[in-house]
């Protein structure tokens, strides 16, 4: 998937020069405070808008980013994550633009970001944050992309799956660390991954548990362990009523 993404980006770079993206980014609305949205003393859920996935196929045939964004904001999400990768997730940047325009929440661009050109593209689309996956980046690239995002007013969510990757994220200067419970190589999901790695996330970093969160019990365990926020996607997208599913998680979580 990463190699396919690199090839797609190389093609797009030839069609759309970075200079054009820089001008578009300069005209974009200021970035909303994505890290700040995750600091409430509450169950902070980043609701993910995802049409399909390689492991589960089509998740939501009737995929309407504007409607979903408004509904999930009303249901209590503190931020959104929008898949923009086309080939494997059936995403697109227009989904992100539509979702952000429809709500007041900060929006994360979730993609395989491996090139500075993509960070310019992300800001030009008015994303407020973006994902960096430690497993697919060198240390030098990770530092450079983090720094570029900050220059553009965006703090990246740096994703790790192992103790070594968390350490690399910390060394690169990440302030927002996500632990992905899905092994990107096998696609196996274990919520226990977050529980095993939380001690490696420094106290001065915000910690986000990603993938596999499907119940109040999951939220309770992860919040008690020290996580500040939780990225929930497939559980919501597979529900006939995503907003109701989110409200159920939050209502029961607040009561417990």
Catalytic residue among 44, 81, 194, 211: 211
Residue found by looking up tokens 């960096």 in the block: 132
Q: Catalytic site residue 211?
A: yes
Among 50, 53, 81, 234, which one carries the catalytic annotation?
50
Q: What is the pLDDT of residue 33?
A: 98
Residue 255 reports pLDDT greater than 70: no
The whole model's pTM is what? Answer: 0.94
- pLDDT of res. 6: 87
Which pLDDT value is given to residue 100?
98
113 vs 81: CA distance, rounded Å: 14
Q: Is 50 a catalytic residue?
A: yes
Q: Is 159 a catalytic residue?
A: yes
Q: How many residues does the chain have?
A: 256
Q: What is the pLDDT of residues 144-176, one digit of tens each?
A: 999 999 999 999 999 999 999 999 999 999 999
Q: How many CB atoms lie within 10 A of CB 215?
A: 14
**Is 48 tagged catalytic?**
yes
Number of domains in the chain: 1
**Quick one: pLDDT at residue 253?**
53
Distance separating alpha carbons of residues 96 and 105, to the nearest angstrom: 12
The CA-based diameter of the chain, rounded to the nearest angstrom, is 53
**Residue 65's domain spans which residues?**
2-255
Residue 186 pLDDT: 74
Q: What pLDDT, in 10s, does the model give residues 184-229?
A: 777 788 899 999 999 999 999 999 999 888 889 999 999 999 999 9
Q: How far apart are CA 147 and CA 145, in angstroms?
A: 5
Confidence label for 254 from pLDDT (cuts 50, 70 and 90): low
Non-local CB neighbours of 159 within 8 Å, separated by 6+ positions: 131, 132, 133, 134, 135, 177, 178, 179, 180, 210
- 229-246: per-residue pLDDT in tens? 999 999 999 999 999 999
Residue in 85, 110, 155, 209 annotated catalytic: 110
164 noted as active-site residue? no
CATH assignment at residue 236: 3.20.20.70
């Amino acid at each position: 998937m990463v190699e396919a993404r690199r090839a797609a980006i190389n093609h797009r770079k030839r069609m759309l020069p970075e200079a054009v993206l820089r001008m578009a980014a300069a005209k974009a609305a200021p970035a909303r405070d994505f890290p700040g949205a995750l600091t409430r003393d509450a169950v902070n859920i980043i609701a993910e808008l995802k049409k399909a996935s390689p492991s589960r196929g089509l998740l939501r045939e009737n995929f309407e980013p504007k409607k979903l964004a408004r509904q999930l904001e009303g249901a209590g999400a503190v931020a959104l994550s929008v898949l923009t990768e086309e080939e494997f997730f059936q995403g697109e940047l227009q989904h992100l633009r539509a979702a952000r325009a429809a709500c007041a929440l900060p929006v994360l661009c979730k993609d395989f970001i491996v090139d500075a050109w993509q960070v310019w593209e992300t800001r030009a689309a008015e994303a407020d944050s973006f994902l960096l996956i430690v497993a697919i980046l060198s240390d030098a690239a990770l530092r450079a992309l983090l720094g570029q995002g900050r220059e553009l007013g965006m703090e990246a969510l740096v994703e790790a799956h192992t103790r070594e990757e968390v350490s690399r994220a910390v060394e690169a200067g990440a302030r927002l660390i996500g632990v992905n419970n899905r092994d990107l190589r096998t696609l196996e999901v274990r919520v226990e991954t977050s529980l095993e790695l939380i001690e490696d996330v420094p106290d001065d970093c915000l910690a986000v548990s990603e993938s596999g969160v499907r119940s109040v019990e999951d939220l309770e365990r992860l919040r008690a362990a020290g996580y500040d926020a939780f990225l929930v996607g497939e559980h919501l997208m597979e529900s006939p009523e995503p907003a109701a599913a989110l409200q159920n998680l939050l209502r029961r979580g607040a009561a417990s």
